[in-house]
Amino acid sequence: PKIANTVDNSRSSLMSSSRILVSIAMESEAQPLITALALTPLSDLFHSALPFQAYENEAVVVVTSGKHPTHGVDNVGTFPAALATSHALSHPIHKFHLLVNAGTCGGFKAKGCEIGTVCVPESGGFHDRRIVIPNTPFEAYGLGLTPTTSTSATLARSALSAVGGHCTTSDSLDHNSTDDDLMAKAGSVVKDMEFAAICGTAGFYGVDVVGVKVVTDIVDGDRPSAEEFMENLSTAANKLQETVPKVLEALKKA
């Protein structure tokens, strides 16, 4: 009984303390970090009907979007990212004071990016939510510009000597000429499929977001994005294993 009580008390203390939530869409992106931090499965963060996965230690909880039950692929994109973020941040017991969204991205050669460049964005927004209705704020709503200029983001950018700038988000890996125009107009440095959705969702809960994005493909290059992405995914995942712990250490000063 004494041992059981000790475990229960320890578990209760862990759940009631505020930790950092790290959101990573793909399991292959997250696995090297989970291993490096010796995280253990956390089973009660999400409803059992949801595919999301969670892993924890005393300071951090890493969540992934899991696999789609029909297609068997990672649940990438804005919908699962927003849903997982909302469920985690609204949990009645597990509490989080900061969210780190780590993952891969496309980078713009015109902005100085190359394969392996690390970006800690200063803002996020969408380039595929085009709601142009004259004399209304719907267009601005669709673009969803969200500054990410907290002290935590500044500390993370400095710790990694990372680039800043704008991260633009859509649910498509490819892009068309209209996307290109909007991405250029926003001054986009990197492009991903989750960041703006996570920023917008976390904003409802008053939680700051720090992005840590590693470039796997060049958006304005001459190779297909899918080809470059798959070629560099494992390298980027290993780089996340190196960079995210540095960010977590830097954030202790926030």
Catalytic positions, written as ranges: 29, 217
DSSP the chain: -HHHHHHHHHHHHHHHSEEEEEEES-HHHHHHHHHHTT-EE--SSS-TTS--EEEE-SSEEEEE--B-TTT-SB--SHHHHHHHHHHHHT-SS-EEEEEEEEEEEEE-GGGT--TT-EE--SEEEESS-----TTSTHHHHHHT-EE---HHHHHHHHHHT-B-SEEEE-S-SS--HHHHHHHHHTTEEEEESSHHHHHHHHHHTT--EEEEEEEEEETTSSS-HHHHHHHHHHHHHHHHHHHHHHHHHHHTT-
Asked whether 100 and 22 are in contact (CB, 8 A), the reply is yes
Q: Which of 200, 155, 4, 31 is nearest to 102 (CA)?
A: 31
Residue 247 CA to residue 210 CA, distance in Å, equals 9
> For residues 14 and 103, what is the distance between their CA atoms, to the nearest angstrom?
26
The HSE-up count of residue 176 (CA atoms within 13 Å, CB side) is 4
